[in-house]
Amino acid sequence: MTKTEMNAFRRVLSRRQLELGNSNSIRDGLAIGSSSDELDRTQDASDRDYAMSSLERSSDRLREVRSALRRIESGTFGICSGCEENINPKRLAAIPWAQFCITCQETADREQAEPALVLAA
């Protein structure tokens, strides 16, 4: 990967890091209000659940973006953490924080889903 391409990824990831770090609007949905109406309380609880899920996804993505920035600094960006082969440039263009090539990512996704299947059985 050229230095120009690496700098472009660094800019994209830094911009995404700022966006995710400034997502205070998600936290606003966590405010606990009180209402005497049962329907309002149910809606508020649903809104809080949604906000918690969004906050968790944003936090996970921020962690992935920061990890990608560290890989850029260490010189390992674009190299799969699983098989140590180069990650396809098209994959990096779509998901610049990708840690794995598509094959290793599919394996990791299957392994992550298996414990959930065992628990559900």
pLDDT score, position 34: 67
In this prediction, residues 93-98 reach a mean pLDDT of 97
Question: Residue 114 above 70 pLDDT?
Answer: yes
The stretch 84-100 carries a mean pLDDT of 97
Q: Give how far Cα 1 sits from Cα of 17, 79, 83, 91, Å.
A: 22, 10, 18, 14
Q: For 21-65, how does the pLDDT look when each residue is reduced to its tens digit (9 = 90+)?
A: 876 555 555 556 666 778 877 877 787 888 888 889 999 999 999
Q: Domain residues of the chain, as ranges?
A: 1-77, 79-121
Radius of gyration of the chain (CA): 19
% of the chain beyond a pLDDT of 90: 60
Shortest CA distance to 92 belongs to which of 81, 102, 106? 102
CA distances for 62 relative to 36, 53, 68, 97, angstroms? 37, 14, 10, 9
Q: What pLDDT does residue 44 have?
A: 77
- The pLDDT, as a whole number, for residue 26 is 54
Indicate if the pLDDT at residue 14 is higher than 90: yes
Q: Across the strands, what pairs with 97?
A: none
